[in-house]
Structure 1
Amino acid sequence: MTADALAGLVPLSIPSPHDGVWDLGPIPIRGYALAIVLGIIVAVWMSERRWVARGGRAGEMQDLALWAVPFGLVGGRLYHVITDHDLYFGEGRSAWAALYVWRGGLGVWGAIALGAVGAIIAARRRGMRLWPVLDAIAPTCLLAQGIGRWGNWFNQELFGRPTSLPWGLEIDPDKRPPGYEQYATFHPTFLYEFIWDVIMYFVVVRLDRRFNLGGGRVLALYVMTYCFGRGMIELLRIDTVELHDVLGLRWSDWMSIILFVAAAAYFAWATYRGRGHREESVYVDGRTPQDAEAA
């Protein structure tokens, strides 16, 4: 096979959808929303399996999702609006647009924080111990976040610096930020994060099984792996946000650094103090799986 023929088989760029919305009669179907919903479904399904494997009752993770998902969506939107408020407030802006979640814009840190609050509330109502719940859910958040990143592909947003690599992402001229109009392909940061998140999911789950982790150490591993990858990928991005530059780093970079250090410190402390072993019961009252099924 000649070099020219081989080159024809290798994609020289990744195309982007020119329109991430499809009309199903009077109902618009948005690619961004589909990615978020699919990520949530996969995360809830895998959380359910992990919860049952740890000694919980089937169906309880779905009940927790009824609290965690709405809280997470609200938190994600609030974080985005706060850190990028110039898009919604000020001259020529419409504050009502802050409610248009379907157009994109969910801050992952806000989604994690309020989503965890919703899960904690639901867990306490059902007598489920906090650490086992969070340790069961945490790795599946990597899957939800990775799948959800495909929403950025549909919206042609949050891509990286210009690149001529074969997997460069094609961006329409009207979606390119000021100063980059002459470039056609950019780093597909959504794809980088998807690949990283999926790989780290299997890494965290493997470590969990290998060392029988508990006491919040699985949660700490999730935070560390996600923050490390997110911090590296953030260095490629060129989109502008409020709080863009704090001492030379983006706000999201600082969040990644702070949370990574906090998670690493907790993991080390829990390990040293002997508080990171797998719990014998995932319920406050010490119920066994058999007791839970009979309840």
Structure 2
Amino acid sequence: MSSLTLAFQFASPGPILFELGPFAIRWYGLLIASAVLIGVSLSQDLAKRRNVNPDLLGDLAIWLVLSAIPAARLYYVLFEWEQYSKRPDQIIAIWNGGIAIHGAIIGGTLAALIFARLKKVSIWQLADLVVPSLILGQAIGRWGNFFNSEAFGRPTNMPWKLYIPPQQRPLEFINFEYFHPTFLYESLWNLMVFGILMTLFFRDLKKRSHLKVGTLALIYMVAYSAGRVWIEGFRTDSLMIGPLRIAQIVSLSAIALGLLGLAWLYLLRRPLPDVVPPEEQRWDYRSD
């Protein structure tokens, strides 16, 4: 057995970091909080480099957190309603896991649209400053699945196999011990996408390339979704509609929309439609 396998088998201490009387600090919550703090700091730094008031991103972050986390839980609960209808007390038990990133993105997008309208700024300009933080936060947050022993893949004997306790295994795989660490696959994929977005951002900042408004957001849609499509195929706990995996349907739709958006920007050379008319925008960069 390789040292890597041993690390996966024994490194997870369980979902709880430490307990103090009736209170428990869980790894999942700590990772989400860390991702938010790191993401806000990063977005504000990118805003400064674009000569945008960083307080605008700080205000947006509050809107995103207040909308994204409940939406992520609601999305998951709705697609697992048969389970939660029998245990309604668990609907709000987000600390036990059970949130969907696509739900968070939908909720955050709706909040950002309202925010952009109220502040009279471009939603696409905001998105370009937020998506590097978003994908980095997704890379960090995926490790919550590791500590909760959830979101793993099919049984495997690969050297990087992940040990799952019997009580966490699907019934059809109860006699298998090791599974694909899909949380790790997605975390590494997201870090790669983060690197691509940051490279493009700084190349544009140094005028080595010329990115149009919305480019980073569209690349995020395509790149993240491409990874999610193939990684989701390994998982044993996918949200389903009949025989179809919901995450794959959403991801394929996002890839199509992202590619259409990039074609609109660079082949047709037209700006993306926005919620705020151009004459009302208070700040702008590379808006051609």
What range is the shorter-chain TM-score in?
0.7 to 0.9
Tell me by how many angstroms 1:243 deviates: 1.9
Structure 2 unaligned spans of 5+: 204-208, 273-277
Match of 2:31 in 1: 35
Question: What is the CA distance between 1:256 and its match in structure 2?
Answer: 0.9
1:232: which partner in 2? Answer: 230
3-state DSSP class of the match of 2:193?
helix
CA contact (8 A) 2:8 2:162 kept: yes
Query: Where does 1:119-198 land on structure 2 (aligned, <5 Å)?
Result: 119-198=112-191
- Structure 1 residue 8 displacement after superposition: 6.2
Aligned residue identity for 1:42: I
**2:83 matched to which residue of 1?**
87
Distance 2:45 2:143 in 1: 24
TM alignment of 1:266-281, pairs within 5 A: 266-275=261-270
CA contact (8 A) 2:5 2:162 kept: no
Contact 1:159 1:187 in 2 (8 A): yes
Letter in 1 for 2:216: V
Please report how far the alpha carbon of residue 283 of structure 1 lies from its aligned counterpart in structure 2 after TM superposition: 9.9
Q: Mark the CA change 1:224 to 1:10 in structure 2 (over 3 Å): closer, same or farther.
A: closer
Q: CA deviation at 1:230?
A: 0.7
Correspondence 1:108-119 to 2 at 5 A: 108-119=101-112
Return the offset for 1:124: 3.0
Q: For each residue in 1:161-192, what CA deviation from the matched residue of structure 2 results, as whole angstroms up to 9, or x when unmatched?
A: 11112211110011110111121111111111
The reply to whether residue 77 of structure 1 matches residue 68 of structure 2 is no
Moved runs in structure 1, 4+ residues, more than 3 A? Answer: 7-13, 282-289
Instruction: Pick the aligned partner of 2:254 from 259, 263, 279.
Output: 259
Q: Please report how far the alpha carbon of residue 130 of structure 1 lies from its aligned counterpart in structure 2 after TM superposition.
A: 1.9
Equivalent AA in structure 1 for residue 89 of structure 2: W
- 2:98 & 2:210 partners in 1: Cα distance? 37
Tell whether the 8 Å contact from 1:48 to 1:59 is kept in structure 2 after alignment.
yes
- CA distance 1:286–1:252, change in 2 (3 Å): closer
Q: Of 186, 203, 206, which aligns to 2:196?
A: 203
CA distance, structure 2, for counterparts of residue 173 and residue 263 of structure 1? 41
Q: Which residue of 2 aligns with 1:55?
A: 51
CA RMSD of aligned residues (A): 2.3
Q: Distance in 2 between matches of 1:55 and 1:197?
A: 27
Q: In the alignment, residue 87 of structure 1 is paired with which amino acid?
A: Q
Bigger CA radius of gyration: 1
CA 1:287 to 1:61, structure 2 compared with 1: closer, same or farther past 3 Å? closer
| Structure 1: distance between partners of 2:169 and 2:197 | 36
Q: Which residue of 2 aligns with 1:3?
A: none
| AA aligned opposite 1:79 | Y
1:14 corresponding residue in structure 2: 8
Taking structure 1 as reference, are residues 259 and 10 closer, same or farther at Cα in structure 2, changes over 3 Å only? closer
Deviation at 1:242, TM superposition (A): 4.1
Is the CA contact (8 Å cut-off) linking 2:15 and 2:26 kept in structure 1? yes
Q: For residue 223 of structure 1, what is the aligned residue in structure 2?
A: 221
User: Aligned partners of 1:255 and 1:287: how far apart in 2?
Assistant: 32
Report % sequence identity: 31
Q: TM-score, normalised by structure 2?
A: 0.87
* Contiguous gaps of at least 5 residues in structure 1: 1-6, 290-295
**Equivalent pair of 2:12/2:146 in contact (CA under 8 Å):** yes
Q: Report the 3-state secondary structure (helix = DSSP H, G, I; strand = E; otherwise coil) of the residue aligned with 1:72.
A: helix
Paired letter, 2:213? G
Report if the CA contact (8 A) 2:5-2:161 is conserved.
no
Contact 1:127 1:284 in 2 (8 A): yes
3-state SS of paired residue (1:14): helix
What's the secondary structure of 1:28's corresponding residue? strand
Deviation at 1:109, TM superposition (A): 1.0
- C-alpha separation in 2, matches of 1:283 and 1:66: 27
Contact 2:132-2:197 at 8 Å conserved across structures: yes
Q: How many residues are paired up?
A: 273
TM value normalised by structure 1:
0.85
